[in-house]
Structure 1
Amino acid sequence: RPVLDKFVRRMCGKNLEEYLSRRPERSPEELKDELAALYTAVKGSGVCCDFRWDVAVIGREDMIFPAENQRRAWTGIRTAEMDAPHYGKELFEYAIGRND
């Protein structure tokens, strides 16, 4: 489980304690199964090819997908940036609180 713990630390950054207080207890195998099921569902839905984002929210402290890589990936899409890690409370609050 050390690999998963390292990933979680990198994913959460300054939000680690908050995440750990809410984290569901699942084994790495259960997480892998969940991601595989999600992949299968999205791949079979046909939705992924027609899906469009209104805005991509980029965390400048993201250690999973570095901000510079995200900027390149989201070319042509409106972006909002903030000082937050990959799993940052700020990102979620922005995403659900937008009024545009």
Structure 2
Amino acid sequence: MRREWIAKEGGRCLTLFFNGWGMDERAVQHLAGTGDVLMFYDYRDIAGEEAPRTEGYEEVRVVAWSMGVWAASVLLSRWALHVDYRVAINGTERPVDECYGIQPKVYLLTERGMDERGRNKFFARMLAGKEEMVKFEANKPRRELNEQVEELRAIREQSGLIRPEIRWNKAYVFAGDVIFPAENQRNWWNGRCEVVNLEGGHYPFYVLDNWEII
């Protein structure tokens, strides 16, 4: 796993952002807001990942998107961190699951078909309409295809074995999400935390485009 500071200005608030599969910092480079943001991504191996230092911050928040929801639950269940608020977006703690995540058959087909063409098709399906597809050219990750395929496989294998559950404060579910079915998300979050239903696709950051709004 990798980590990278998106913003580090010595603010009073720290946001720990767990990115989605295959992404890098470009996914959220346009988001506005105040405070420091530390991003985690590339979940090929999250064993032994050390907790970030949060001393000096008055508030620590977690924002997790897609596969980052599972990754956050794994790491936060291990780390002795005080977190004030946890937000999940278009994901659950069971990312490969018939009822609560992406159906295993669909996931495996996606993994096996992840070549250049398959990757572009996947990105297109994440988005809600042509306008977002045009915008996403500026947010498309610059990662190597082979490591993205490895990450897909690693998430499938690890999420079947490592299945923690932590407390979340809010979950955003986008009705038009065809990657991570909205119904399965609601199945998981019902009774667990506040659920906010929004219009849009799997990629949420043209609607939720400000850390403070999130």
After TM superposition, the score normalised by the length of structure 2 is 0.37
Q: Residue 141 of structure 2 corresponds to which residue in structure 1? A: 24
Higher relative contact order, chain-length normalized (CA < 8 Å, sep 6+): 1
1:12–1:85 Cα contact (<8 Å) kept: yes
Shift in CA distance, 91/54, structure 1 to aligned 2, threshold 3 Å: farther
- List structure 1 runs of 4+ shifted beyond 6 angstroms: none
1:60 to 175, 190, 193: 175
AA aligned opposite 1:86:
H
Cα deviation, 1:43-89, whole Å, max 9, x if unaligned, reads: xxx9x735221111001111111211111111112100110111022
AA aligned opposite 1:83:
E
**In 1: Cα distance, 2:122 partner to 2:189 partner:** 24
Shift in CA distance, 60/34, structure 1 to aligned 2, threshold 3 Å: same
Question: Which structure carries more helix by proportion?
Answer: 1
AA aligned opposite 1:31:
Q
Q: Residue 199 of structure 2 corresponds to which residue in structure 1? A: 83
Task: Give 1:20 shift.
Answer: 1.7
Please give the secondary structure, in 2, of the residue aligned with 1:93: coil
Cα deviation, 1:15-34, whole Å, max 9, x if unaligned, reads: 22222212222222122345
**In 1: Cα distance, 2:139 partner to 2:213 partner:** 24
Question: Which structure carries more strand by proportion?
Answer: 2
CA RMSD in angstroms, aligned pairs only: 2.9
**In 2: Cα distance, 1:69 partner to 1:50 partner:** 16
AA aligned opposite 1:82:
L
Unaligned runs of 5+ in 1: none
Q: Which one has a bigger Cα radius of gyration? A: 2
**In 1: Cα distance, 2:182 partner to 2:202 partner:** 10
Unaligned runs of 5+ in 2: 1-115
